[in-house]
Structure 1
Protein backbone atom coordinates (compact mmCIF):
# COMPACT_ATOMS: atom_id res chain seq x y z
CA UNK A 1 0.00 0.00 0.00
CA UNK A 2 1.20 3.50 -0.79
CA UNK A 3 0.13 6.84 0.67
CA UNK A 4 -1.64 7.64 -2.63
CA UNK A 5 -3.58 4.37 -2.52
CA UNK A 6 -4.62 5.05 1.07
CA UNK A 7 -5.73 8.58 0.17
CA UNK A 8 -7.84 7.18 -2.68
CA UNK A 9 -9.45 4.65 -0.32
CA UNK A 10 -10.25 7.44 2.13
CA UNK A 11 -11.81 9.59 -0.60
CA UNK A 12 -13.83 6.66 -1.96
CA UNK A 13 -14.92 5.79 1.58
CA UNK A 14 -16.19 9.35 2.07
CA UNK A 15 -18.06 9.28 -1.24
CA UNK A 16 -19.65 5.90 -0.44
CA UNK A 17 -20.76 7.08 3.00
CA UNK A 18 -22.23 10.29 1.59
CA UNK A 19 -24.05 8.31 -1.10
CA UNK A 20 -25.45 5.81 1.40
CA UNK A 21 -26.49 8.49 3.88
CA UNK A 22 -28.24 10.41 1.08
CA UNK A 23 -30.40 7.35 0.43
CA UNK A 24 -31.01 6.76 4.13
CA UNK A 25 -32.11 10.38 4.54
CA UNK A 26 -35.15 9.55 2.38
CA UNK A 27 -36.44 7.02 4.91
CA UNK A 28 -39.11 7.81 7.43
CA UNK A 29 -37.92 7.67 11.04
CA UNK A 30 -39.93 4.46 11.47
CA UNK A 31 -38.28 2.74 8.50
CA UNK A 32 -34.84 4.03 9.46
CA UNK A 33 -35.05 2.63 12.98
CA UNK A 34 -37.24 -0.40 12.22
CA UNK A 35 -36.01 -3.67 13.65
CA UNK A 36 -34.96 -5.90 10.78
CA UNK A 37 -33.23 -9.27 10.62
CA UNK A 38 -29.60 -8.19 10.70
CA UNK A 39 -26.55 -8.33 12.92
CA UNK A 40 -27.19 -4.91 14.50
CA UNK A 41 -30.99 -4.96 14.19
CA UNK A 42 -31.62 -1.78 12.22
CA UNK A 43 -30.18 0.61 9.67
CA UNK A 44 -29.53 3.15 12.43
CA UNK A 45 -27.68 0.69 14.63
CA UNK A 46 -25.58 -0.57 11.72
CA UNK A 47 -24.56 2.96 10.71
CA UNK A 48 -23.65 3.64 14.35
CA UNK A 49 -21.51 0.50 14.40
CA UNK A 50 -19.57 1.62 11.33
CA UNK A 51 -18.80 4.91 13.06
CA UNK A 52 -17.79 3.15 16.27
CA UNK A 53 -15.42 0.90 14.32
CA UNK A 54 -13.80 3.90 12.66
CA UNK A 55 -13.40 5.75 15.93
CA UNK A 56 -11.77 2.68 17.48
CA UNK A 57 -9.42 1.96 14.58
CA UNK A 58 -8.41 5.51 13.74
CA UNK A 59 -7.98 6.26 17.43
CA UNK A 60 -5.45 3.42 17.51
CA UNK A 61 -3.77 4.64 14.34
CA UNK A 62 -3.45 8.14 15.80
CA UNK A 63 -2.23 6.82 19.18
CA UNK A 64 -5.32 8.13 20.98
CA UNK A 65 -7.46 5.02 21.47
CA UNK A 66 -11.19 5.35 22.07
CA UNK A 67 -12.83 3.41 24.87
CA UNK A 68 -15.90 2.12 23.07
CA UNK A 69 -17.89 -1.08 22.78
CA UNK A 70 -18.65 -2.40 19.29
CA UNK A 71 -22.38 -2.17 19.97
CA UNK A 72 -22.37 1.41 21.33
CA UNK A 73 -25.02 3.72 19.93
CA UNK A 74 -23.20 7.05 19.76
CA UNK A 75 -26.11 9.05 18.35
CA UNK A 76 -29.83 8.48 18.74
CA UNK A 77 -30.94 10.38 15.65
CA UNK A 78 -30.03 10.37 11.97
CA UNK A 79 -29.01 14.04 11.71
CA UNK A 80 -26.47 13.82 14.56
CA UNK A 81 -25.09 10.55 13.23
CA UNK A 82 -24.75 12.01 9.72
CA UNK A 83 -22.88 15.05 11.07
CA UNK A 84 -20.54 12.81 13.06
CA UNK A 85 -20.03 10.53 10.03
CA UNK A 86 -19.00 13.49 7.89
CA UNK A 87 -16.56 14.70 10.55
CA UNK A 88 -15.07 11.20 10.91
CA UNK A 89 -14.67 10.85 7.15
CA UNK A 90 -12.83 14.18 7.01
CA UNK A 91 -10.62 12.99 9.88
CA UNK A 92 -9.85 9.81 7.94
CA UNK A 93 -9.05 11.75 4.76
CA UNK A 94 -6.71 14.08 6.64
CA UNK A 95 -5.01 11.09 8.27
CA UNK A 96 -4.56 9.40 4.89
CA UNK A 97 -3.26 12.55 3.22
CA UNK A 98 -0.57 12.95 5.87
CA UNK A 99 0.66 9.38 6.26
CA UNK A 100 4.25 8.47 5.44
CA UNK A 101 5.31 5.33 3.63
CA UNK A 102 7.40 4.37 6.66
CA UNK A 103 4.23 4.31 8.78
CA UNK A 104 2.47 2.12 6.23
CA UNK A 105 5.45 -0.25 6.23
CA UNK A 106 5.55 -0.49 10.03
CA UNK A 107 3.59 -2.60 12.52
CA UNK A 108 1.09 -1.34 15.04
CA UNK A 109 0.78 -2.74 18.54
CA UNK A 110 -2.69 -2.20 20.00
CA UNK A 111 -5.15 -3.62 22.48
CA UNK A 112 -8.48 -4.76 21.07
CA UNK A 113 -11.88 -4.28 22.71
CA UNK A 114 -11.55 -7.72 24.38
CA UNK A 115 -8.34 -6.55 26.08
CA UNK A 116 -5.96 -8.64 23.97
CA UNK A 117 -2.77 -7.05 22.68
CA UNK A 118 -1.76 -7.62 19.06
CA UNK A 119 0.95 -6.42 16.71
CA UNK A 120 -0.02 -6.36 13.04
CA UNK A 121 1.18 -4.72 9.81
CA UNK A 122 -0.19 -1.19 9.60
CA UNK A 123 -1.13 -1.52 5.92
CA UNK A 124 -3.19 -4.65 6.69
CA UNK A 125 -4.95 -2.89 9.57
CA UNK A 126 -5.80 0.08 7.38
CA UNK A 127 -7.17 -2.23 4.71
CA UNK A 128 -9.20 -3.92 7.42
CA UNK A 129 -10.66 -0.60 8.60
CA UNK A 130 -11.86 0.24 5.08
CA UNK A 131 -13.03 -3.32 4.43
CA UNK A 132 -15.00 -3.20 7.69
CA UNK A 133 -16.90 -0.17 6.42
CA UNK A 134 -17.53 -1.78 3.04
CA UNK A 135 -18.84 -4.93 4.72
CA UNK A 136 -21.31 -3.06 6.91
CA UNK A 137 -22.34 -0.61 4.18
CA UNK A 138 -23.31 -3.76 2.28
CA UNK A 139 -25.53 -4.75 5.20
CA UNK A 140 -27.19 -1.33 5.16
CA UNK A 141 -27.59 -1.70 1.39
CA UNK A 142 -29.46 -4.97 1.98
CA UNK A 143 -31.60 -3.40 4.71
CA UNK A 144 -32.48 -0.52 2.37
CA UNK A 145 -33.68 -3.07 -0.19
CA UNK A 146 -36.35 -4.01 2.37
CA UNK A 147 -37.75 -0.45 2.20
CA UNK A 148 -39.25 1.74 -0.51
CA UNK A 149 -35.90 3.56 -0.92
CA UNK A 150 -33.73 1.93 -3.57
CA UNK A 151 -30.21 1.15 -2.37
CA UNK A 152 -27.54 3.18 -4.20
CA UNK A 153 -24.69 1.79 -6.28
CA UNK A 154 -21.57 1.97 -4.12
CA UNK A 155 -19.00 0.22 -6.30
CA UNK A 156 -15.65 1.98 -6.45
CA UNK A 157 -16.02 2.18 -10.24
CA UNK A 158 -18.96 4.57 -9.77
CA UNK A 159 -16.80 6.71 -7.51
CA UNK A 160 -13.97 6.74 -10.06
CA UNK A 161 -16.36 7.69 -12.88
CA UNK A 162 -17.82 10.49 -10.75
CA UNK A 163 -14.31 11.95 -10.46
CA UNK A 164 -14.02 12.46 -14.26
Structure 2
Protein backbone atom coordinates (compact mmCIF):
# COMPACT_ATOMS: atom_id res chain seq x y z
CA UNK A 1 0.00 0.00 0.00
CA UNK A 2 1.39 3.43 -0.87
CA UNK A 3 2.22 5.72 2.07
CA UNK A 4 -0.06 8.46 0.67
CA UNK A 5 -2.99 6.05 1.09
CA UNK A 6 -2.19 5.87 4.82
CA UNK A 7 -2.41 9.67 4.94
CA UNK A 8 -5.79 9.48 3.21
CA UNK A 9 -7.16 7.23 5.96
CA UNK A 10 -5.79 9.61 8.59
CA UNK A 11 -7.55 12.50 6.86
CA UNK A 12 -10.80 10.51 6.72
CA UNK A 13 -10.57 9.88 10.47
CA UNK A 14 -10.17 13.61 11.10
CA UNK A 15 -12.99 14.42 8.68
CA UNK A 16 -15.19 11.95 10.54
CA UNK A 17 -14.47 13.57 13.92
CA UNK A 18 -14.95 17.07 12.50
CA UNK A 19 -18.32 16.20 10.94
CA UNK A 20 -19.48 14.59 14.19
CA UNK A 21 -18.30 17.68 16.07
CA UNK A 22 -20.23 20.01 13.76
CA UNK A 23 -23.40 17.92 13.75
CA UNK A 24 -23.48 17.45 17.52
CA UNK A 25 -22.71 21.14 18.09
CA UNK A 26 -25.78 21.96 16.00
CA UNK A 27 -27.88 19.40 17.87
CA UNK A 28 -26.87 21.08 21.14
CA UNK A 29 -29.25 23.86 20.07
CA UNK A 30 -32.20 21.49 20.36
CA UNK A 31 -34.22 20.85 23.47
CA UNK A 32 -34.03 17.31 24.85
CA UNK A 33 -37.62 16.82 23.66
CA UNK A 34 -36.70 17.87 20.11
CA UNK A 35 -33.57 15.70 20.16
CA UNK A 36 -35.64 12.63 21.09
CA UNK A 37 -38.71 13.54 18.98
CA UNK A 38 -39.90 11.05 16.38
CA UNK A 39 -38.79 11.90 12.87
CA UNK A 40 -38.61 10.18 9.49
CA UNK A 41 -35.43 8.19 9.02
CA UNK A 42 -33.92 4.74 9.28
CA UNK A 43 -33.89 5.27 13.05
CA UNK A 44 -36.91 7.22 14.31
CA UNK A 45 -35.12 10.14 15.99
CA UNK A 46 -31.94 12.18 16.04
CA UNK A 47 -31.22 10.68 19.45
CA UNK A 48 -31.42 7.11 18.16
CA UNK A 49 -29.59 7.85 14.90
CA UNK A 50 -26.66 9.59 16.56
CA UNK A 51 -26.46 6.99 19.33
CA UNK A 52 -26.37 4.31 16.63
CA UNK A 53 -23.36 6.01 15.07
CA UNK A 54 -21.71 6.07 18.48
CA UNK A 55 -22.31 2.41 19.43
CA UNK A 56 -21.22 1.12 16.02
CA UNK A 57 -18.08 3.26 16.32
CA UNK A 58 -17.43 1.62 19.70
CA UNK A 59 -17.87 -1.81 18.12
CA UNK A 60 -15.52 -1.28 15.18
CA UNK A 61 -12.92 0.94 16.85
CA UNK A 62 -12.57 -1.63 19.62
CA UNK A 63 -11.99 -4.34 16.99
CA UNK A 64 -9.45 -2.14 15.18
CA UNK A 65 -7.63 -1.72 18.50
CA UNK A 66 -7.56 -5.52 18.95
CA UNK A 67 -10.36 -5.57 21.54
CA UNK A 68 -13.12 -8.08 21.98
CA UNK A 69 -16.12 -5.88 22.96
CA UNK A 70 -18.30 -7.24 20.19
CA UNK A 71 -22.09 -6.88 20.37
CA UNK A 72 -21.92 -5.65 23.97
CA UNK A 73 -21.26 -2.29 22.28
CA UNK A 74 -24.95 -1.95 21.51
CA UNK A 75 -26.42 -3.70 24.56
CA UNK A 76 -27.86 -0.27 25.35
CA UNK A 77 -29.04 1.21 22.05
CA UNK A 78 -29.21 4.71 23.55
CA UNK A 79 -26.36 4.93 26.06
CA UNK A 80 -26.30 8.73 25.72
CA UNK A 81 -29.89 10.02 25.84
CA UNK A 82 -28.89 13.70 25.74
CA UNK A 83 -26.62 15.68 23.44
CA UNK A 84 -24.69 16.78 26.54
CA UNK A 85 -23.82 13.11 27.22
CA UNK A 86 -23.30 12.13 23.58
CA UNK A 87 -20.88 14.91 22.58
CA UNK A 88 -18.00 13.90 24.89
CA UNK A 89 -18.61 10.18 24.34
CA UNK A 90 -18.53 10.56 20.55
CA UNK A 91 -15.51 12.83 20.76
CA UNK A 92 -13.65 10.19 22.80
CA UNK A 93 -14.33 7.40 20.30
CA UNK A 94 -13.47 9.75 17.43
CA UNK A 95 -10.10 10.39 19.09
CA UNK A 96 -9.56 6.65 19.39
CA UNK A 97 -10.28 6.23 15.68
CA UNK A 98 -7.83 9.01 14.84
CA UNK A 99 -5.21 7.25 16.99
CA UNK A 100 -5.88 3.98 15.12
CA UNK A 101 -5.38 5.75 11.79
CA UNK A 102 -2.35 7.70 13.01
CA UNK A 103 -0.71 4.35 13.85
CA UNK A 104 -1.29 2.93 10.36
CA UNK A 105 1.53 1.88 8.13
CA UNK A 106 1.17 0.57 4.58
CA UNK A 107 1.64 -3.00 5.85
CA UNK A 108 -0.77 -2.59 8.76
CA UNK A 109 -3.41 -1.09 6.48
CA UNK A 110 -3.53 -4.36 4.51
CA UNK A 111 -3.54 -6.57 7.62
CA UNK A 112 -6.50 -8.53 8.95
CA UNK A 113 -8.77 -7.53 11.86
CA UNK A 114 -10.73 -10.02 13.95
CA UNK A 115 -14.25 -8.84 14.82
CA UNK A 116 -16.19 -10.47 17.66
CA UNK A 117 -19.72 -11.11 16.34
CA UNK A 118 -20.60 -13.05 19.54
CA UNK A 119 -21.26 -16.47 17.99
CA UNK A 120 -18.73 -16.05 15.17
CA UNK A 121 -15.50 -14.23 14.46
CA UNK A 122 -15.39 -12.15 11.30
CA UNK A 123 -12.01 -11.52 9.71
CA UNK A 124 -11.76 -8.40 7.57
CA UNK A 125 -8.95 -6.44 5.94
CA UNK A 126 -8.22 -3.31 7.98
CA UNK A 127 -8.50 -0.97 4.99
CA UNK A 128 -11.91 -2.39 4.03
CA UNK A 129 -13.15 -2.23 7.61
CA UNK A 130 -12.12 1.41 7.84
CA UNK A 131 -13.86 2.20 4.53
CA UNK A 132 -17.00 0.47 5.84
CA UNK A 133 -16.88 2.45 9.08
CA UNK A 134 -16.42 5.79 7.31
CA UNK A 135 -19.26 4.99 4.89
CA UNK A 136 -21.49 3.98 7.82
CA UNK A 137 -20.79 7.33 9.43
CA UNK A 138 -21.57 9.32 6.28
CA UNK A 139 -24.74 7.32 5.66
CA UNK A 140 -26.25 7.92 9.10
CA UNK A 141 -24.95 11.49 9.50
CA UNK A 142 -26.77 12.30 6.27
CA UNK A 143 -29.98 10.96 7.78
CA UNK A 144 -29.42 12.97 10.95
CA UNK A 145 -28.67 16.05 8.84
CA UNK A 146 -32.02 15.65 7.05
CA UNK A 147 -33.82 15.18 10.38
CA UNK A 148 -32.17 18.32 11.74
CA UNK A 149 -33.47 20.23 8.72
CA UNK A 150 -36.97 19.59 10.09
CA UNK A 151 -36.18 21.53 13.27
CA UNK A 152 -35.56 25.18 14.10
CA UNK A 153 -31.78 24.48 14.08
CA UNK A 154 -30.00 24.97 10.76
CA UNK A 155 -28.08 21.86 9.72
CA UNK A 156 -24.33 22.50 9.48
CA UNK A 157 -22.27 22.17 6.32
CA UNK A 158 -20.55 18.77 6.48
CA UNK A 159 -18.89 18.42 3.08
CA UNK A 160 -16.18 21.07 3.03
CA UNK A 161 -13.47 19.39 5.11
CA UNK A 162 -11.31 18.47 2.12
CA UNK A 163 -11.62 21.85 0.36
CA UNK A 164 -8.36 23.74 0.93
CA UNK A 165 -10.09 27.08 0.43
CA UNK A 166 -12.25 26.43 3.48
CA UNK A 167 -9.26 26.28 5.87
CA UNK A 168 -9.85 29.76 7.34
CA UNK A 169 -13.45 28.83 8.16
CA UNK A 170 -12.32 25.62 9.89
CA UNK A 171 -9.49 27.20 11.88
CA UNK A 172 -11.52 27.91 15.03
CA UNK A 173 -13.07 24.43 15.01
CA UNK A 174 -9.71 22.79 14.44
CA UNK A 175 -8.26 24.80 17.34
CA UNK A 176 -11.16 23.65 19.54
CA UNK A 177 -10.42 20.05 18.53
CA UNK A 178 -6.68 20.51 19.12
CA UNK A 179 -5.73 20.12 15.45
CA UNK A 180 -4.01 22.10 12.75
CA UNK A 181 -4.19 21.89 8.98
CA UNK A 182 -0.50 20.91 8.93
CA UNK A 183 -1.03 18.08 11.40
CA UNK A 184 -3.84 16.61 9.33
CA UNK A 185 -2.40 17.07 5.87
CA UNK A 186 1.27 16.73 6.76
CA UNK A 187 3.86 19.34 6.05
Distance 1:70 1:136, change over 3 A: farther
Could you tell me the TM-score, scaled by structure 2's length?
A: 0.79
- Aligned counterpart, 1:88: 93
**Alpha carbons 1:49, 1:71 under 8 Å: kept:** no
Residue deviations 1:117-155, cap 9 Å, x none?
322221111100111111110110111111121212211
Q: Are residue 6 (structure 1) and residue 9 (structure 2) matched?
A: yes
- Aligned counterpart, 1:20: 23
Counterpart-to-counterpart distance in 2, 1:83 and 1:148: 23
Q: Are residue 112 (structure 1) and residue 138 (structure 2) matched?
A: no
Instruction: Give 1:41's match in structure 2, choosing from 34, 44, 49.
Output: 44
Instruction: Give 1:163's match in structure 2, choosing from 162, 167, 170.
Output: 167
Unaligned 5+ residue runs, structure 2?
A: 169-187
Instruction: Give 1:101's match in structure 2, choosing from 101, 106, 114.
Output: 106
Runs of 4+ more than 6 Å apart:
none
Could you tell me the TM-score, scaled by structure 1's length?
A: 0.89
Counterpart-to-counterpart distance in 1, 2:104 and 2:52: 25
**Aligned-residue CA RMSD (Å):** 1.7
Task: Give the number of aligned pairs.
Answer: 161
Instruction: Give 1:152's match in structure 2, choosing from 128, 151, 156.
Output: 156
**Deviation (angstroms), 1:83:** 0.8
**Alpha carbons 1:45, 1:73 under 8 Å: kept:** yes
Report SS of the residue matched to 1:136: helix
